Amino acid sequence: MIKVLIEYASANGSTRGIARKIADRCSVPGFDVSLSAVEEDPGHEWFDAVIVGSAIHGMDWLPAAREAVFRRSSAAKTQPVWAFSVATWGATSTLLAPRLARRIRTTASEPKTVTKLRESADLRDHRRFAGMLTRGDWPLLGRVVFKIMGGRYSDARDWSDIDEWADGIVEQLRSGTFEYSARTEDASRQFDDDKGP
């Protein structure tokens, strides 16, 4: 059984919805999937692989996601990790004007937290997804800037792209070898013997 943790940091629910979709897609025979907000800290040592995602505010992940990445840096070195970011534009869809989104895709740097995760963990992939936005999600200044950028309030989540990305993770995990599966099973037995924390 491959144990997968999917954790997320969501500002207005868009990232949470994507994380749930990924969890559903990864819930196939042979996989034990857990879904958690990053604040819950379920204990990464119990899992064979981690998928972590966050909304982007101010060109980086939310503070709770940044803290979670730093907190789990030691465990990350022994686990394959996949990351996803959710913003006004993604790899295949956008809330912004299409021409602007195309330009941003070719020039934007990855979030700082993802760069640090790439340095400290076995990061297999990072994927950007467009999210969902309503008028009430941003303050007045944000709404003005969004309008100038040709933004449209809508749900731009590309579910087929999300499915394809999650399916790719499942295939990679199925074809991989997990030397630490036995370690997590031993730890689980020890946890049961100790009757938990």
- Each residue's pLDDT, cut to its tens digit, for the chain (197 residues) gives 999 999 999 999 999 999 999 999 999 999 999 999 999 877 767 889 999 999 999 899 999 999 988 877 655 567 899 999 999 999 999 999 999 999 999 999 999 999 999 988 889 999 999 999 988 888 888 889 888 888 889 999 999 999 999 999 999 999 985 544 433 333 333 333 333 33
Q: So where are the chain's domains?
A: 2-193
Spell out the CATH class of 2-193. Answer: alpha beta
pTM: 0.84
Could you tell me which of 185, 78, 27 has the C-alpha nearest to residue 6?
A: 27
Long-range contacts from 36-41, C-beta under 8 angstroms, 24+ separation = 36/5, 36/6, 36/7, 36/8, 37/7, 37/8, 37/9, 37/10, 37/64, 38/7, 38/8, 38/9, 38/64, 38/65, 38/67, 38/68, 39/9, 39/64, 39/68, 40/7, 41/68, 41/71
